[in-house]
Copies of this chain bind each other. A is one copy, B any other.
Amino acid sequence: MRIGIVGGTGDIGEGMALRLSTRYDVIIGSREEEKAKTASTTCRLRLDELGKVCSLSGVSNQRAVDEADIVVLALPYKHLVPTIASLTGFEGKIVVSPVNPMEFGETVSYVPPPEGSAGLLLKKLLPESARIVVAFNNIAAHRWQTIGEDLDYSVAVCSDDDEAKRIVMDLINTISHLSALDAGPLKNAALVESLTPLILNISKYNRMKDVGVYFR
């Protein structure tokens, strides 16, 4: 299975590449292909040091879409609309959105677009055959990066495409000790996305680091 990470040179993208490339073929995408190649090399060196074999390459965002079975949009919310507008070829692809529309002020707020969530906005932006799955929204970027440590969080997943949802849930369950949970249709994306500002606020007001969520 080939996983393309659009925005793969950001914190979360690079962390996901580290965790996923020892098991799957990972293509790191970037607006600038050179940056993606550098990120790919950095990741490979870190994994080499740990004696881990990986499958990683750095390409343009467009090639990350074109060559992948699963496309992960590892983008800050503010880059979502322009990035999608600059890319083609999402037809029939599984498109994973860990994107959270948030505003950072005195406190962290959930500020969704008029569609109700980033997930539902994507439904408007992408071709109808794109198989949108909202997942990985609530995992701290820093925890993706600390590959020496296990990840054992619950990962809530929403989609209107049951098969795509099952494929992404199975993928999640192969990453460290993450545990995928079905959170229903794409309509529920706001419930999953808005958990991230809550986690960031809890982190801030209780001086906790890299807070994660568990449903049990």
Interface of A toward B, CB cutoff 8 Å: 106-107, 109-110, 156, 181-185, 187-188, 190-192, 194-195, 197-199, 201-202, 204-206, 208, 211-216
A124 to chain B, nearest CB (A): 19
User: Are A107 and B215 within 8 A (Cβ)?
Assistant: no
CA distance A107 to B192 in the complex (A): 14
A169 to chain B, nearest CB (A): 10
User: Are A184 and B107 within 8 A (Cβ)?
Assistant: yes
Instruction: Give every chain B residue within 8 A of A107 (Cβ-Cβ).
Output: 184-185, 187-188
How many copies make up the complex? 2
User: Are A110 and B190 within 8 A (Cβ)?
Assistant: yes
Instruction: Give every chain B residue within 8 A of A214 (Cβ-Cβ).
Output: 213-216
User: Are A182 and B198 within 8 A (Cβ)?
Assistant: no
User: Are A202 and B181 within 8 A (Cβ)?
Assistant: yes
Given A212-B215, A214-B214, A215-B213, A182 contacting B202 (CB threshold 8 A): yes
Question: Which of B109, B192, B202 contacts A156 (CB under 8 A)?
Answer: B202
Instruction: Give every chain B residue within 8 A of A199 (Cβ-Cβ).
Output: 215
CA distance A181 to B213 in the complex (A): 13
Instruction: Give every chain B residue within 8 A of A188 (Cβ-Cβ).
Output: 107, 109, 197-198, 201
A60 to chain B, nearest CB (A): 36
Question: Which of B106, B190, B212 contacts A216 (CB under 8 A)?
Answer: B212
User: Are B212 and A184 within 8 A (Cβ)?
Assistant: no
Given A195-B195, A206-B182, A109 contacting B213 (CB threshold 8 A): no
CA distance A187 to B187 in the complex (A): 24
Cβ-closest chain B residue relative to A192: B198
User: Are A183 and B195 within 8 A (Cβ)?
Assistant: no
